[in-house]
């Protein structure tokens, strides 16, 4: 198993170890013009060092966990990872897990079949299916309820999803990048986040410093 990379931009230190729209949801389809450098606005040495590391790990297929306060640029980094990777010609699908209720998030991520619930008048693919071959960015992963965490774990383990109301497993080929505004390790200790899911997500951890510690990055 390759070593995982850990970068803490708050210290500017790279470590390696043997373990390791209105709703803010978006999708970029194949063929859309995009330059990863066009969204990179970090001028501070720590962020520049992080961007250098992103270029190094972009072609890995490892799951990435980006931790940082709201507004620090987690989606920017996720976008850069995708568009520097071999998956760049496939969709980049971003979704904020914080904006959906516990009952809606399953349908949003995994899709649903016709008649699965009241109002489901036709089948609908979820975000994982829409990102086939590309990257899914799950922002606010720390807000995902425990009941949904086990289903995300199955996606990481089996690389399949099952739509709400469905009876078959749908294979998905996606790279998962997750964003969290809180320390998931602390949430694990509090019993609010599954430790097995945390370790599956934390293959390549990146920590973004708060903006107050890098005023040169504020336009």
Rounded CA separation 92/133 (Å): 9
Dihedral (C-alpha) 31, 37, 38, 42: value to the nearest 10 degrees? 150
Helix (H, G, I), strand (E, B) or coil at 34: coil
Query: In order along the chain (219 residues), what is the average pLDDT of each group of 10 residues?
Result: 42 31 45 47 79 91 96 92 96 95 88 75 89 98 96 96 87 98 98 98 94 69
Nearest to 65 by CA among 166, 187, 218: 187
pLDDT on residue 215:
65
Helix (H, G, I), strand (E, B) or coil at 137: strand
pLDDT on residue 114:
77
Answer positive or negative: Cα dihedral of 6, 11, 12, 13.
negative
Nearest to 32 by CA among 90, 93, 94, 86: 90
Rounded CA separation 98/166 (Å): 25
One of 3.80.10.10, 3.40.228.10, 3.40.640.10, 3.40.50.300 is the CATH number of 4-18+30-217, namely 3.40.50.300
Helix axes 74-83, 45-57, angle to 10 degrees: 40
Domain ranges of the chain: 4-18+30-217
pLDDT on residue 74:
95
pLDDT on residue 212:
75
Rounded CA separation 138/140 (Å): 7
Rounded CA separation 6/13 (Å): 9
């Amino acid at each position: 198993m390759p070593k995982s990379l850990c970068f803490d931009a708050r210290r500017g230190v790279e470590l390696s170890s043997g373990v390791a729209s209105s709703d803010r949801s978006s999708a970029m389809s194949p063929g859309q013009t995009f330059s990863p450098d066009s969204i990179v606005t970090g001028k501070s040495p720590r962020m520049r060092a992080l961007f250098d590391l992103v270029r190094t790990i972009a072609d890995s297929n490892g799951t990435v966990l980006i931790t940082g306060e709201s507004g620090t640029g987690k989606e920017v980094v996720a976008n850069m990872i995708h568009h520097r990777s071999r998956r760049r010609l496939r969709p980049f699908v971003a979704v904020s897990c914080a904006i959906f209720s516990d009952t809606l998030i399953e349908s949003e991520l995994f899709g649903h079949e016709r008649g699965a619930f009241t109002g489901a008048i036709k089948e609908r693919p979820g975000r994982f299916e829409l990102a086939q071959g590309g990257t899914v960015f799950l922002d606010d992963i720390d807000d995902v309820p425990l009941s949904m965490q086990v289903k995300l774990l199955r996606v990481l383990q089996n690389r399949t999803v099952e739509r709400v109301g469905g009876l078959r497993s749908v294979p998905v080929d996606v790279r998962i990048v997750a964003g969290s505004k809180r320390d998931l390790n602390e949430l694990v200790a509090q019993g609010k986040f599954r430790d097995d899911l945390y370790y599956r997500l934390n293959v390549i951890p990146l920590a973004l410093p708060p903006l107050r510690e890098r005023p040169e990055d504020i336009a």
